Amino acid sequence: MTPEGHVIVTLVGVVGSAAATSALTGVVRAYALREGLKDIPNDRSSHAQPTPRGGGLAIAAALFVASGGALVLDPWAWRWVLALVVGGGVNAAVGWMDDRRSLSVRFRLCSQFAVAAFALVLVGTRIHLNVLPGVVLPPLLLFPFVALYLTWMTNLYNFMDGVDGIAGAQATTVGLTLAIGAAAEGNAAVALISAAVAGSALGFLTHNWPPARIFMGDVGSALLGFVLGALGLWASSVGAFEFPAFLIAMSVFIVDATLTLVIRAIRREKVTQAHRSHAYQVLVRRTGSHRTVTVAVLAFNLGILTLAALWADLNPALAWVPLVVIWGALAAGFVAIGAGRPVPAGALK
């Protein structure tokens, strides 16, 4: 395929997925209202009004269609595509059940880890990660760490989906970054699915932009967390995008979620209990605006993280330098903001 062809594939993935997801989200919203499937505010919420949830169903539909297109472009990628479809599908199904009636933390974690293990067995020795410059660890040594990584990616995305638009904005920018890198490397399959992630998230944002008219719910956050994590592995393993560069693109979500969890664990709080102490939630309380925080994350991703990730992808030997600098700066900033500290009860008004 010519370079122009890869650009066309990427554009079709973004535009087609955006249009389809926007339309489907409207259908899902009508269904959620009819069935009374709403997110009811409580003392750990960052919203004040009951809001329909389950919009992630529309995102899932768009991504699964794009997966079929990726197989047409590259039939040899069937193991990676199947891992994305099955892993993302199971996580979305469990998330959908949790949206309808709360499931235990143990059940969800066991399910997520089993899905990660299945994906790793499916792709087998095809996993190749440049963990350090010039160092590539064997797949068997990577497996337990990668299984934990995929499980954590699934959960952290759920943790970070707490204010209007932020999860959709994150998926849009990370998907676009991966798509640009993969298209430049000539990998049409990775470019298409990455573009579909960006497009479906963008289409969902037409309904979820502050003030949100529907939430994606666990069905969407669990799906996106796993799919983005697996896409980072796939892209790195086939030389479409460097893994440290992917981690740079995901910096805001990874650092905020991980740092907050660590601080709460140090404070001996129950880390499995829902809370409102992530840095982005603290900022929402201070500014009184979901839109301000979401726009800030979107601008930071596009203005700094996307550019840094693309630079790191072009300079793999130095990729860990911007990663360490950005993660360190974000961690320091989030600690200063008050991430992980106890917060007063009561929903945001």
Rounded CA gap, 64 and 93, in Å?
A: 13
Rounded CA gap, 2 and 8, in Å?
A: 10
Query: For position 142, what pLDDT does the model report?
Result: 79
Percent of the chain clearing pLDDT 70 (strictly above): 93
Rounded CA gap, 137 and 4, in Å?
A: 35
Query: For position 348, what pLDDT does the model report?
Result: 45
Is the separation of the CB atoms in 187 and 181 below 8 Å? no
Rounded CA gap, 152 and 292, in Å?
A: 27
Confidence check: pLDDT of 11 > 70: yes
Is the separation of the CB atoms in 51 and 39 below 8 Å? yes
Confidence check: pLDDT of 42 > 60: no
Rounded CA gap, 227 and 233, in Å?
A: 10
Q: How confident is the model at residue 349 (pLDDT cuts 50, 70, 90)?
A: very low
Rounded CA gap, 13 and 69, in Å?
A: 9
User: Encoding tokens for residue 39?
Assistant: 């997110």
Task: Calculate the average pLDDT of the chain.
Answer: 90
Q: How confident is the model at residue 275 (pLDDT cuts 50, 70, 90)?
A: confident
Burial 81-95 (b: 16+ CB within 10 A, else e): bbbbbebbbbbbebb
Query: For position 344, what pLDDT does the model report?
Result: 62
Rounded CA gap, 245 and 21, in Å?
A: 27
Query: For position 23, what pLDDT does the model report?
Result: 97
Rounded CA gap, 173 and 301, in Å?
A: 7
Query: For position 115, what pLDDT does the model report?
Result: 94
Is the separation of the CB atoms in 82 and 122 below 8 Å? yes
Across the range 245-272, mean pLDDT stands at 94
Query: For position 45, what pLDDT does the model report?
Result: 55
Across the range 239-251, mean pLDDT stands at 96
Query: For position 96, what pLDDT does the model report?
Result: 94
Angle of CA points 265, 118, 201, to nearest 5° = 70
Length reported for the chain: 349
Confidence check: pLDDT of 112 > 50: yes
Listed range (28-42, 102-116, 157-171) with the worst mean pLDDT:
28-42
Q: Comparing 123 with 44, which gets the higher pLDDT?
A: 123
Rounded CA gap, 57 and 230, in Å?
A: 19
Across the range 233-250, mean pLDDT stands at 95
Rg over CA atoms, the chain: 19
Q: Report which residue type is found at 258.
A: T
pTM to 2 decimal places? 0.93
Across the range 159-164, mean pLDDT stands at 93
| 276-299 residue pLDDT tens | 899 999 999 999 999 999 999 999
Rounded CA gap, 253 and 347, in Å?
A: 22
Confidence check: pLDDT of 133 > 80: no
User: Helix, strand, coil proportions of the chain in percent (round to 5)?
Assistant: 75, 5, 20
Domain borders along the chain are 3-337
Dmax (CA) of the chain: 57
Contacting residues for 7 by C-beta, under 8 A, at least 6 apart: 183
Query: For position 347, what pLDDT does the model report?
Result: 43
User: Encoding tokens for residue 232?
Assistant: 């980072």
| 55-86 residue pLDDT tens | 999 999 999 999 999 999 999 999 999 999 99
Q: Report which residue type is found at 255.
A: V
Query: For position 330, what pLDDT does the model report?
Result: 98
Q: Comparing 343 with 156, which gets the higher pLDDT?
A: 156
Is the separation of the CB atoms in 233 and 146 below 8 Å? yes
Task: Report helix angle 290-300 to 279-287, nearest 10.
Answer: 130
Between the alpha carbon of residue 182 and those of residues 44, 198, 242, 268, the distances in Å are 39, 13, 10, 42
**Which residue's structure tokens are 């790793």?**
120
Across the range 48-52, mean pLDDT stands at 79
Q: Comparing 48 with 322, which gets the higher pLDDT?
A: 322
Q: Which of 300, 311, 309 is nearest to 333 (CA)?
A: 300
Query: For position 139, what pLDDT does the model report?
Result: 67
Query: For position 336, what pLDDT does the model report?
Result: 95
Q: How confident is the model at residue 232 (pLDDT cuts 50, 70, 90)?
A: very high
Half-sphere exposure of 302 (CA within 13 A, CB side): 11
